[in-house]
Amino acid sequence: MTTILITGATSGIGLGLAQRLHAQGHRLIVTGRRQALLDEVTAAHPGMTGYRNDISDAGQVASLAARLASDHPDLSTVILNAGIMQSERLGPDQTPLSVAEDTVATNLLGPIRLTHALMPQLLARPQAHIVTVSSGLAFVPLAATPTYSATKAAIHSWTQSLRFQLEGTAISVHELAPPAVQTDLMPGQRSNPHAMPFDAFIDEVMAILTRDPVPGEILVERVQFLRRAEAEGRHAEVFETLNRNFRTPG
């Protein structure tokens, strides 16, 4: 039995992973911004612990880390899932800068701050795991969500450096890079026929997590066309196809 923290776990991929891992007998700690949703999740899953937390707030991140050290000293796995994705207009009639700033604070600074705060606790464990959540858009950006794509590219880069620096310690570092999945991350995404069915995604991820060893990059087959685009000389083509065929509401 492992004690696992999943941030942003009141819906979508975070909730799906929390439910599956909890069903396997692991102790789950979940966080989210909205207390009502946390209450619903923990009520439906007895034994699951929920903490209200806004990962974009440095003070709340520090408070969460202190509480975890006090109440859950056996924490050994952290899945940094919390994130936001919003479309942005650049150039004429541009979107307010606050949208980009909120995205950077949540998707990039949040995971970095929380990892830094939890590092002493994780290093004290005989074995620990950090799982970042990037995106297929880390490898081929979606122009309609420029800051989201940029933060996920940054998380991919940061994860590589984190993995390298933690070689020889008890902490293994992994990166989950989902394709578009049928969730509510963006308006209409849950019903988008081009997005991967939710249960199929969670099934495939859980199967990858049973491998020994778990790979550094946790990639379902459907995301490989984005992940391999650069290496296979298809980046320009994939970028053009992705961005000509996909539009988000302005």
Which residues of the chain carry a pLDDT beneath 50?
248-250
What is the reported pTM? 0.95
pLDDT value of position 249:
41
pLDDT value of position 248:
47
Order of strands, sheet of 75-80, starting from the edge strand that comes earlier in the sequence? 49-52, 27-32, 3-6, 75-80, 128-133, 171-176, 217-218
pLDDT value of position 245:
77
pLDDT value of position 247:
58
Nearest to 4 by CA among 212, 206, 245: 206
51 is catalytic: no
Fold of 3-245: Rossmann fold (3.40.50)
Which position among 28, 148, 209, 222 bears the catalytic label?
A: 148
**In the chain, where the domains are located:** 3-245
pLDDT value of position 103:
98
